[in-house]
Structure 1
Amino acid sequence: MTIPRFPDLVPAALRRTWAAEGHYPDLDLYSLFRAHRIAGPKRIAVIDSEGAVSYAELDRQARCLAAGLSEAGVCPGDVVGVQLPNGRDAVATDLALAALGAVALPFPVGRGGREAMSLLGRSGARAVIAAIGHRGVEHARELVDLADELPGLRHVIATGPGPVPGGCLSMQDLLHADPASFTPVRPDPDTAARILVSSGSEAEPKMVAYSHNALAGGRGNFLAALLPGGTPPRCLFPVPLASAFGSSGTAVTLARHGGTLVLLDRFTPAATLQAIRAHRPTHVLGVPTMVRMMLEQAQRERQASQGLTALVLGGSPLDDATREEAATAFGCVVVNLYGSADGVNCHSGLTGALPSGHGPGTVAGRPDPAVCDIRIDPSRGSDPAAGTGEILARGPMTPLCYVGAPELNMRYRTADGWVRTGDLGLLDAHGMLRVVGRLKDIVIRGGANISPAEVDGELSSHPDVRDVMCVGVPDPLMGERLAACVVPKAGRAPTLESLCAHLEARGLERRKHPERLLIVKDELPLTPAGKPDRAALRDRLAAAFRAEREQDAG
């Protein structure tokens, strides 16, 4: 018996039930995109730094590339890595691989060669398409230099400005292939289409295989709930398309909903605000830290950016102060999205209605069975007084499996297909999911557990704080202590004493108060996927503590 390369850990009968209920389109991604191309060939598909691209133009580029990749030996089922910045080439590559029946493995520019090698090696990738250069990093050359350590890798394909490194194929050469010579594959929509890379807490990034149906159906249903009247969206992505959040780009915005992608190859608050004013997107999909930076930039420019349907913010908890300020500044609903590459999604919706009154954690929203159901496992991380436990998810967006890591399937998937998120939460009396924190992010101080996310939420309302993230730092006496990393509001100078007084006033017990403070200038560091970088903050704290000790010793 042949073991499937990407086994589906959800019972097949459930998948077929979701298809029968209309939660799945039951078509592959390229077929879905092609239907929109035929219906409106002149409609704009992508707006990037080079201008606008129509559905017909994007389709021709995708078919040419698919023909060229096929001639180079890329076959249905092959995993192909993609390390490209946001832009038309990245989108055309997504579509070309879908048309080939290959499995895309995107990962953001900026990730180092060794991490790229780990992803390509563990996934068994047969080819990788990479930028010749991006902001000083020669990704294609790095990958060629590492190719000898990847015996399964046949080709490194380079694209972008500059000379093609030795040992690489040229994407421009592949685009010269005759699209008429290519016939798209029609893969089973329940088979793998894309591998999402999770920036979680494992030693190496987790890779999660998604089917065509789980992307266009399950993840597509999440965006469908945010489209008034089913109008095709115009989505601005300041996060990388190669991130898990970015999987709502080609597969969802274009293939499922026939919308338009507005793409920035790198986030800056000024460029994002300018793109909102110039291109009038309906939705901006980013993380709370980005929006806090945009709000500060908008204050400096004294120019608001109105006309959005929704700001959709995920990746880290969204505090009430940021939600309210952003809703006023942008004149739209601010949607709190709780989700991850591992297969969980819940959001607050277009109504913006949240239960009144104080409660634990952050309100994520009411679970949508067209996306995924949520239940709480009280046997893990339970607090009987609060009614919390580990959050489990299962539904149309649930991925097939983890890739190249059967131990993760054993650890994070149940026998009947539920995904263990590693997050702590509860379902309240209103049926709303509240996210309290992470099992792995718990700081253990002298044997007592502290959830940094809980402290973040309380500190976010401090009048001197623009952005905050609490992390645990090693301590020889207590094991760990809590440190607050704070980006102050302009002209403000928060102190550790004022932060703790604020927490005291809000009723947070003293054992949860931070004992260290790191003032971060300008912005919290972000990972290549656009999320706050806890590891970088811990490094900064360690450097600051060393400097303090050296100063005391001197």
Structure 2
Amino acid sequence: MTLHLDDLVPATLRREWAADGTCPDLDLYALFRAHRLADPNRVAVVDEAGELVYANLDLRVRAAAAGLRHLGVCPGDVVGIQLPNGRDAVIADLAVAALGAVALPFPVGRGAAEAISLLGRSGARAAIVATEYRGLPHAHDLVSVAAQLPGLRTVIAAGTQEPPAGAVDWVDVLSTDGRTFVPARPDPDSAARILVSSGSEAEPKMVAYSHNALAGGRGNFMATLIADGTPPRCLFLVPLASAFGSNGTAVTLARHGGSLVLLDHFTPPGALAAISDHRPSHVLAVPTMIRRMLDQPRSGAMPPMTALVLGGAELDAATAAEASAVFGCPVVNLYGSADGVNCHSGLLPAADEPGPGVVVGLPDPRVTEIRIDSGTEEFGEIIARGPMTPMCYVGAPELNQRYRTAEGWVRTGDLGMIDEAGRLRLVGRLKQVVIRGGANVSLAEVENAVSTHPEVREVVCVGVPDPVMGERLAACVVSRPGSGIDLAGLRAHLTARGLDKVKHPEHLLVVGEFPLTPAGKPDRAALRAMLPQPQSA
């Protein structure tokens, strides 16, 4: 089944962005192939197996594409990809692009229920999954539930273990003769990848992106962080299969001809060793990872880098300053989402100016234009539309109705304003609130306030069901080494900062480190489950 996807951005705008050079107007494999021809011996991937240059990566991509074609994958088909960071994930991504098919990556570590949801709603015809990842038999689990996915024709198992019965071995796919393979030339404004985002919905959201939106819009975002035009060398601590990880194969390789440094899973010592050994220009991570790396013992100075690029949440000012000093580079706080919004603090030091909310940065129309819609005179809902705007939500027309306007603008559900300097200020997140006795409490506002406590290394706030108030607010914190924190002291600190008492946490949970989702973000659901007997006010 070929998935039908409507592009909710007017076609005239897409063509204007291609005509004026904002978007490259080429498909992802063609862009990658141009870099392979220009510099075949440039390193493309560094992983636990070593280095792989562009020429050798391309040979593997063409073999994989030919093998997938023999298995019946056609242009427009959706192919699920559940692989850890490494060369196989990159090969699979580029091979799907070379076929004119649509990649649907989702991180390892998630269970069969999520795979059924994603593959079923997208109508995926094939899936390339890890045979085993850190004790989880992904391929076996998917084969065992394949009967629930009538559209799924083929499960391909990748890894060193024997593939389960009913699955095709990835090694056999890679062994196909790719010399006669002729790549497809899909419309650059057609779907190339489906990004998966948990968001606030009951099931993970799937968002369709075109070749131009990835290489053009998202590629332009990355271009603003490349100081001297040299192809970037990016250490991805986030999964390539996450929405943030879409800046890997499509952007770092295909658009900018750079190199990917990949670890199959994150550990603080492993990440620090990768920086020392492989000397990346950029590290892409979420704030929790940076905080955990800062708590590790280090010997000597870190090698020079261009930037730490952080997504998923904002790194508080004190920790950002510490990280900048330790790693010797700017910390770029990225405001963005799979839904199609992007703005960041840039490579220059952020101005610490008083005013409402948090200064995000100056919106870039070559990435996405940002406006404020239907609010008060000061602030309202942030909406975005531009070259990186996705086509639509997949298999969820109700989300298109809720989050997209008739002109293709994306409703973020966040509150913000554009200040006199033209910068976006983030005031609050509409979708992350606790309703306590009828009062809406922004989790982001409370988290920002709690993060200023000198003994707090990291904070996540969650709502706790309450029979009287509806919800009460809980602060989950990781304290700094050698320090401690109690609820009374935290509330006293928040009072001194002037935070309204209705916004003070009523529960406190102190943990050594946060549980993480497979995408590397703090797992709010897991933290909420740890709160049956918190310290109470």
Counterpart CA distance in 2 for 1:72 and 1:14 is: 37
Separation in structure 2 between the aligned mates of residue 175 and residue 190 of structure 1, nearest angstrom: 29
Q: Is the 8 A contact 1:80 1:103 kept in 2?
A: yes
**More displaced 10-residue stretch of structure 1: 109-118 or 529-538:** 529-538
* Cα deviation 1:224-280 (Å, max 9, x = unaligned): 000012110000001000000000000000000000000011111110000000000
Matched, 1:312 2:309: yes
Code of the residue aligned with 2:155 in structure 1: it is V
What is the SS of the residue equivalent to 1:230? coil
Q: Distance in 1 between matches of 2:102 and 2:204?
A: 18
Other-structure match for 1:476? 467
* Residue 351 (structure 2) pairs with residue 362 (structure 1): no
> Do the aligned partners of 1:376 and 1:390 also contact (CA within 8 Å) in 2?
yes
Matching residue's letter, 1:407: E
- In structure 2, the residue matched to 1:30 is 29
Q: SS of the residue aligned with 1:201?
A: coil
The residue that corresponds to 1:219 in the other structure is 218
Shift of 1:4: 7.6
* Corresponding letter in the other structure for 1:492: S
- How far apart are the structure 1 equivalents of 2:54 and 2:400? 38
- What aligned pairs does 1:107-122 form with structure 2 within 5 A after superposition? 107-122=106-121
Counterpart of 1:529 (choices 498, 507, 519) is: 519
1:321 to 2:303 alignment: no
**Paired position in structure 1 for 2:204:** 205
Letter of the 1:533 counterpart: D
Q: Deviations over 1:89-119 (max 9, x none)?
A: 0001111000000000000000110111100
Say whether residues 1:147 and 2:146 are aligned partners: yes
Pair 1:510 & 2:507 matched: no
For 1:340, give the aligned amino acid.
S
Give 1:18 shift. 1.1
Which amino acid counterpart does residue 519 of structure 2 have in structure 1? A
- In the other structure, the counterpart of 2:529 is 539
Number of matched residues? Answer: 535
In structure 2, relative to structure 1, the CA distance for the partners of 1:243 and 1:275 (3 Å cut) is same
The 8 Å contact of residues 476 and 510 in structure 2, kept in 1 or not, is answered as yes
| Residue 399 of structure 2 is aligned to residue 408 of structure 1 | yes
- State the distance in 2 between where 1:294 and 1:303 align: 14
SS at 1:336 equivalent? strand
Distance in 1 of aligned mates of 2:359 and 2:486 = 28
Which residue in 1 is equivalent to 2:16?
A: 17
Corresponding residue number in structure 2 for 1:425: 416
Letter in 1 for 2:302: S
Alignment of structure 1 residues 17-96 onto 2, 5 Å: 17-96=16-95
1:516 counterpart letter in structure 2? H
Per-residue deviation, 1:436: 2.5
1:216-295 matched pairs, under 5 angstroms: 216-295=215-294
Show structure 1 runs of 5+ residues with no match.
550-554
Q: Distance in 1 between matches of 2:494 and 2:99?
A: 55
Matches within 5 A, 1:173-192: 173-192=172-191
Secondary structure of residue in 1 paired with 2:145:
helix
Structure 2 length as normaliser, TM-score? Answer: 0.98
Q: Quick one: distance in 2 between partners of 1:51 and 1:110? A: 24
Q: What's the CA shift for 1:358?
A: 2.6
Mean alpha-carbon deviation: is it higher for 357-366 or for 19-28? 357-366
Which of 350, 353, 358 pairs up with 1:353?
A: 350
For residue 387 of structure 2, what is the aligned residue in structure 1? 396
For residues 119-172 of structure 1, give each alpha carbon's deviation from its aligned partner in whole angstroms, at most 9, with x where no partner exists: 000000000000000100010000000100000000000011111100001111
- The whole-number CA distance in structure 2 between the counterparts of 1:170 and 1:125 is 18
Q: Deviations over 1:63-86 (max 9, x none)?
A: 000000001100000000000000
1:263 partner letter: L
Identify if the C-alpha distance between structure 1 residues 217 and 336 changes in structure 2 by more than 3 Å, giving closer, same or farther.
same
Question: RMSD over aligned Cα, in angstroms?
Answer: 1.4
Partner of 1:371: 367
Amino-acid identity (%): 67
Q: 1:319–1:362: 8 Å Cα contact kept in structure 2?
A: no
